[in-house]
Amino acid sequence: MSPEADGLPELPAPPRPSLLHTLRMISSGGGGRADMLTPLQRLHAQYGPVVMNKVGAFNMVNVFGPDGNRTVLLDQDRIFSAKLPWTAIMGRIFPNGLLLRDGDDHKHHRKIMHTAFTRPAIRDYAERMTPMIEAGLAHWPEAGGEMLAFRAYKRLTLDIAAAIFVGVQLGPGTSQMNQAFENMVAASMSRIRLRIPGLEFYKGLTGREWLVSFFTDLLPKRRASDGADMLARLCRAETEEGHRLGDSEIVDHMNFLMMAAHDTTTSALSSMTYELAKHPEWQERVREESRAFGDVPLRLEDLDRLESLGMVFKETLRRYPPLPVMPRVATEAFEIAGFRVPAKSMVVVAPIHTHHMEEWWPDPYRFDPERFRGERAELEGHTHRWIPFGGGPHHCIGLRFAEAQVKLVMHQIVRRYRFSVPADYRMPVQQAPISKPIDGLPVRLERI
């Protein structure tokens, strides 16, 4: 049905861009990898809450603001496919991950995987993480000094993910697995998707093949074990109807989970470290709360008592959502903000844009964790104004694990170190595909 047929106006649209520009918009959500926010803000300022970019028969629709987020992410009519866009973006690198499934298939796999993310499971993971974090921090500069925080976090979170998810100690293998995941994530953004040695996409494919072999070799022992790691849990998990995952399904889920878990927590920890270094008064608040616990290992229940750290965590994810855009494909035409969007349009929700809208977040570029204090309740203004973990059917299944891991790591760090950056330093951020500091985030450590 045309917009005129149901009385709805034409979608606002900028002049038709070139095909190359459109391909870049698809791969990076509306801008370059380094800065996605600025072009999204320009589109919103000029065209309003919904805007279409069109080349030939292809439609890409940017939806802005909490109302649009709610429509697309909640997907009450079940018309927005996550599988279609994410398969186009990363299907050859991370096939069949939970994000690349829709409908009953997604529901079925999510139900099986939920057994690895129950509160008792996360409580167990949290207890096991503390000694791993302490062991990892033992390799940090004992007397202080300069360090690239992003690289240090990447190694630490990957070691934790391997132990918690897979039940193995990587040791020297950390570097090889780390490189494989980095190559795979970079390949998901590649514009030249050919298996030609030396190209970014080729490196991603070979990284995937190495990881598939790595996980496949572990399956026989994990199926026969009663281990508490996530791989063993997935091998044993089954629905009430007795359905279990096959080998290839488990391997695909582990590839995606390992990437999502350690890359997103590395992103959050790096951004949090930068903001706490720039705002030493908040660093001291967080430190005082953590030191009040003494040397007793934290339980999962204790993390909620770290009020300042919790507010810092939320404000950091507001300013630097690890996943800045979330694409869907509309399988049917739909109405939004008074416009009709055609079927088969790619619809893009942008957490990074919503999180910086002045009408929802006063002074949005200011780091202000107090926004999330109960009495201010800025978060209560709309259910979909803060969406670092998405929403609806594809709401991140591992969000509680990620939050626990970030808090446990930062709790240990602030008790050992003060950290700082030069007064004139501004962290250069690559916002896509996952937010990270381009320069590795050099910080100065001072042992307490």
Return the axis-axis angle of helices 173-187 and 247-278, rounded to nearest 10°: 90
Per-residue pLDDT reduced to its tens digit, 78-128: 999 999 999 999 999 999 999 999 999 999 999 888 888 899 989 999 999
Model confidence at 379, pLDDT cuts 50, 70, 90, reads: low
Q: Which residue has the higher pLDDT, 14 or 388?
A: 388
Q: Is the CB of residue 261 less than 8 Å from the CB of residue 402?
A: yes
What gap in Å lies between CA 17 and CA 54, rounded to an integer? 7
Residue 256, pLDDT > 70, answer yes
Per-residue pLDDT reduced to its tens digit, 327-369: 999 999 999 999 999 999 999 999 999 999 999 999 999 999 9
Domain 4-447 has CATH 1.10.630.10: yes
Give the closest residue to 427 by CA, choosing from 412, 417, 437: 437
Q: What is the pLDDT of residue 3?
A: 47
Per-residue pLDDT reduced to its tens digit, 223-235: 888 888 888 888 8
The distance of Cα 334 from the centroid of its chain, to the nearest Å, equals: 28
Q: Which residue has the higher pLDDT, 6 or 9?
A: 9
| Average pLDDT score over residue span 243-269 | 90
Q: What is the pLDDT of residue 31?
A: 42
Q: What is the pLDDT of residue 28?
A: 47
Q: What is the pLDDT of residue 18?
A: 45
User: What is the pairing mode between strands 346-349 and 58-63?
Assistant: parallel
Q: What is the pLDDT of residue 16?
A: 64
**What is the sign, positive or negative, of the torsion defined by CA atoms of 285, 324, 406, 108?**
positive
Model confidence at 33, pLDDT cuts 50, 70, 90, reads: low
Residue type, 365: Y
Q: Which residue has the higher pLDDT, 34 or 213?
A: 213
Residue 27, pLDDT > 60, answer no
Bridge partner list, 326: 349
Q: What is the pLDDT of residue 375?
A: 66
Per-residue pLDDT reduced to its tens digit, 274-316: 999 999 999 999 999 999 999 999 999 999 999 999 999 999 9
Q: What is the pLDDT of residue 434?
A: 86
Model confidence at 377, pLDDT cuts 50, 70, 90, reads: low
Give the closest residue to 217 by CA, choosing from 182, 247, 245, 175: 247
In terms of Cβ atoms closer than 10 Å to its own Cβ (0-12, 13-18, 19+), residue 377 is: exposed
- Taking the model in full, what pTM does it have? 0.90
User: What is the average pLDDT score of the chain?
Assistant: 89
Per-residue pLDDT reduced to its tens digit, 142-151: 877 899 999 9
Give me the percent of the chain exceeding a pLDDT of 90.
66
Task: Delimit the domains of the chain by residue range.
Answer: 4-447
Q: What is the pLDDT of residue 137?
A: 94
Give the closest residue to 126 by CA, choosing from 395, 409, 413: 409
What gap in Å lies between CA 400 and CA 118, rounded to an integer? 9
Q: What is the pLDDT of residue 207?
A: 95
Per-residue pLDDT reduced to its tens digit, 54-72: 766 779 999 999 999 999 9
Q: What is the pLDDT of residue 19?
A: 43
Q: Is the CB of residue 36 less than 8 Å from the CB of residue 324?
A: yes
Per-residue pLDDT reduced to its tens digit, 387-419: 999 999 999 999 999 999 999 999 999 999 999
Q: Is the CB of residue 40 less than 8 Å from the CB of residue 350?
A: yes
Residue 448, pLDDT > 70, answer yes
Residue 53, pLDDT > 90, answer no
Per-residue pLDDT reduced to its tens digit, 151-172: 999 999 988 888 888 888 877 7
Per-residue pLDDT reduced to its tens digit, 133-142: 999 999 898 8
Q: What is the pLDDT of residue 292?
A: 96
Q: Is the CB of residue 126 less than 8 Å from the CB of residue 411?
A: no
Model confidence at 378, pLDDT cuts 50, 70, 90, reads: low
